[in-house]
Amino acid sequence: MIYDIDLGTTNSCVAGWDEKRDQVKFYRNVVTGSTVTPSVVYFDPDDPSVASVGDDAVSLFKMRPDRTVRGIKRRIGDKDAYDVHTNGLPEGTDPVLVSSLILKKLVEDVKRGYEEEVKDVVITVPAYFGSLERENTKRAAKEIGLNVLELINEPTAAALSYGIDLTEDKNIVVYDLGGGTFDVSFVRVIANVGNVNTFRYIAIDGDAKLGGLDWDREIAQMLLERYNEELGASYSLKKEEELNNDGVEARLTAVLFESAEKIKKLLSSGRPYVDYSVGVDGVFCKVRVTQDEFYERTKHLLDRTIEMMRKLVANAKANAKADIDEIILVGGSTRMPQIAKAICAEIGKTPKLHDPDYAVANGAAIFAQKMNHYSEDIDGILKPDPFKANPISNILSKTYGLIVLGGHVSNIMFKNDTLPLDKTHIFHLADDNQQSVLLKLYESDLEFSNENRLIDVSEVDEKCKYVAECLVEFVRGYARNTPMTISVKANNEQLFDFEVVVGTETQKTQISLCTPDDPERRRYIESATVL
């Protein structure tokens, strides 16, 4: 059986296909009975190998925020571990390790509650994730022994859930605002191609660090201002990576975030105001937050999403001659009524709130079951079968380039290029008797234009993010200005293979996007007790 894992910023879940009932089945948390598990990890201060994941970790966050990690999905593209000097987490804790512990909790719950062994999985990721985020997501799963068949974009899964039974072609805008990430995608659903609907991306935009947590932070800041004013205090709201102790300010920050999330949900349900008591250590004050205050305080966040949607729709209409038929809202944060109102004002169409909490997981489970494009190798391991049709046509979410002489970045693949892709570029060697080439890969949000094919050295750090590098060595040295052909292939998951041809030599390589396997680390994850 192929399982779907929706690894979310706020909550995560596991789904699969119930053959008897012929429908998606959501697996429940063995402790709470809920179909979702909070994506929160708490490390025991006495024994770092013991980690609480889920509801217990949420409760412990208020008492020991310095030992608790939330919203790790936002950091999955970071290579570095948490700084033990600014955060009270165990040494060596990084986003991949934390994500592995969340995944471990999910699959162990399935085993304990249902006596099913989770092995082959598809995992959902934001469409706007770059290659490093995607590779680290796969690595987190690999470290607990999962076989990741495919990463499926969350808007694709949502569109699949919504449009699997469509009988006519439609252009769908998927506005996906989750707990920590935002995606907006333009997807064309082509009905009944070989009795299977085909889903084709036209354009992608978004922000991997914008989501409901930012709305929470604005409310938390508002609560803190009222708290300081009432008590004559001067506390500040800490960033989560700065919660390095269990002092009053750190614990107050944790309480304010929890209160903010509850207030947001109450206001989103239609209440004109919410009265709430906030504080720590027996020192509390009552605060009233109105709808108007909430909307005004968070308007700049909503405006950011609307601006990205505006540009995406304009580009899709200009380049693909595509008009919008439907706008669907997914992600728990789209329950805020101001979002639908703003979209309607911008586009002139009323968006549909489509199963915001489960649309992604539901669609991914359908994908795993219905799109039977996997086969077993000689060892019985499921792998993608390229000879069977893939009903999903993806596009590149980022622009990628290589560093060249002078420190410039020469872009070779562009955002919204159709996947899979195969591109070839000719460069020239910079030195006499050159025996190697260092391929340094950079990522940006730039869309194609003649002006941004070569990024000026002074703008590289501003516009580009360093991703990875690989040294390609030749058998002999070649003269300066010798032509060098670099071909790059990107698969449907946005992962790359490079081929370098100089003279009669051909060198094939994969740029490693993440830290190499560490047996000691893997043993730690395998032996860690997850509660």
> What phi and psi values does residue 316 have, to the nearest 5 degrees?
-65, -40
Q: Which of 43, 45, 62, 63 is nearest to 53 (CA)?
A: 43
- What pLDDT shows up at residue 239? 78
Q: Which neighbouring-strand residues pair with 409?
A: 403, 455
- 433: burial class by Cβ within 10 Å (0-12, 13-18, 19+)? exposed
Residue 302 domain flag: no
Conformation bin of residue 355: beta by default, left when phi > 0, alpha when psi is -120 to 50? left
Peptide bond into 420 cis (omega under 30): yes
Asked if residue 258 and residue 184 are part of one domain, the reply reads: no
pTM flag (> 0.75): yes
Question: 26-65 pLDDT, tens per residue?
Answer: 999 888 999 999 999 999 988 888 999 999 999 999 888 8
Of 261, 296, 331, which marks where a domain is finished?
296
CATH number of residue 441's parent domain: 2.60.34.10
- What pLDDT shows up at residue 191? 83
- What pLDDT shows up at residue 46? 86
Asked if residue 251 and residue 158 are part of one domain, the reply reads: no
Count of domains forming the chain: 3
Percent of the chain residues past pLDDT 90, beyond the cut = 59
CATH number of residue 252's parent domain: 3.90.640.10
Map tokens 């191609």 to a residue: 193
Bridge-based pairing of strands 182-193 and 11-18 is unpaired
Residue 248 domain flag: yes
Map tokens 């769908």 to a residue: 172
Question: 294-344 pLDDT, tens per residue?
Answer: 999 999 999 999 999 999 999 888 877 888 999 999 999 999 999 999 999
Asked if residue 488 and residue 420 are part of one domain, the reply reads: yes
Task: Give the mean pLDDT of 211-240.
Answer: 92
Of 262, 296, 330, which marks where a domain is finished?
296
- What pLDDT shows up at residue 5? 96
Query: Residue 388 pLDDT more than 50?
Result: no
CATH number of residue 83's parent domain: 3.30.420.40
Query: Residue 523 pLDDT more than 50?
Result: yes
Asked if residue 276 and residue 234 are part of one domain, the reply reads: yes
Question: 137-186 pLDDT, tens per residue?
Answer: 999 999 999 999 889 999 889 988 887 777 888 999 999 999 999 999 99
Residue 260 domain flag: yes
- What pLDDT shows up at residue 49? 87
Conformation bin of residue 406: beta by default, left when phi > 0, alpha when psi is -120 to 50? left
Asked if residue 216 and residue 272 are part of one domain, the reply reads: yes
Of 296, 326, 357, which marks where a domain is finished?
296
Separation of alpha carbons 412 and 93, rounded Å: 34
State the average pLDDT for the chain: 88
Query: Residue 375 pLDDT more than 60?
Result: no
Within 8 A by CB and 6+ apart from 311, the residues are 205
Asked if residue 22 and residue 168 are part of one domain, the reply reads: yes
- What pLDDT shows up at residue 241? 65
Asked if residue 184 and residue 81 are part of one domain, the reply reads: yes
Question: 1-25 pLDDT, tens per residue?
Answer: 889 999 999 999 999 988 888 889 9
Separation of alpha carbons 171 and 199, rounded Å: 10
Asked if residue 65 and residue 195 are part of one domain, the reply reads: yes
Task: Give the mean pLDDT of 445-466.
Answer: 82
- What pLDDT shows up at residue 387? 35
Asked if residue 179 and residue 153 are part of one domain, the reply reads: yes
Question: 225-239, 367-381, 505-519: lowest mean pLDDT where?
Answer: 367-381
Asked if residue 487 and residue 428 are part of one domain, the reply reads: yes
Residue 516 domain flag: no
Range of the domain at 199: 2-210+310-392
Query: Residue 389 pLDDT more than 50?
Result: no
Asked if residue 498 and residue 433 are part of one domain, the reply reads: yes
